[in-house]
Amino acid sequence: MRDIFRETFLGFIRVHLLHHAAEERIFGTEMIEELARHGYELSPGTLYPILHAMEAAGYLASEQELVAGKLRRYYAITPEGLTVLEKLKQKVRELTHEVLKAEVGKPAAASKAHRKPTT
């Protein structure tokens, strides 16, 4: 993967992680499967440092729990993480609106009109 593409891809991954952690606490292997479902092939060696960095930044908080005899680390979103997620959602909405505008088949003149965001 080229670096510039990888940087973007890793940004999308962070948005996904915050989004899912806001719904319910997440854990690594579950997120690797979830992201694979979206077409992101991610190794634990890539995912875990991202989770650790997001926790160090204060966006996630983790706790370990014994599950079927193995320690599993769960990550929950923090209030800071929720604030960042709200900002990111704004950016995603705006970016999607602009970048995908050309693909909805609107004539150039009509494309300036703001469409209602569908979430």
Distance of CA 69 to the CA centre of its chain: 29
Please, what is the minimum distance in Å from the beta carbon of residue 26 to Zn ion?
10
How far apart CA 110 and CA 15 sit, in angstroms, is 30
> What is the DSSP-derived secondary structure letter of residue 59?
S
- Between 3 and 23, name the residue whose CB sits nearer to Zn ion: 23
Please, what is the minimum distance in Å from the beta carbon of residue 93 to Zn ion?
16
- Decide if residue 89 touches Zn ion (CB under 5 A): no
Residue with the closest Cβ to Zn ion?
Answer: 16
In sequence order, the β-bridge partners of residue 96 are none
Q: Which span (15-23, 77-85, 89-97, 109-117) binds Zn ion, by CB under 5 A?
A: 15-23
How far apart CA 105 and CA 111 sit, in angstroms, is 9
- Decide if residue 16 touches Zn ion (CB under 5 A): yes
- Between 2 and 38, name the residue whose CB sits nearer to Zn ion: 38
Q: Contact at 8 Å (CB) between 90 and 20?
A: no
The residues of the shown chain that bind Zn ion, judged by CB under 5 A, are 16
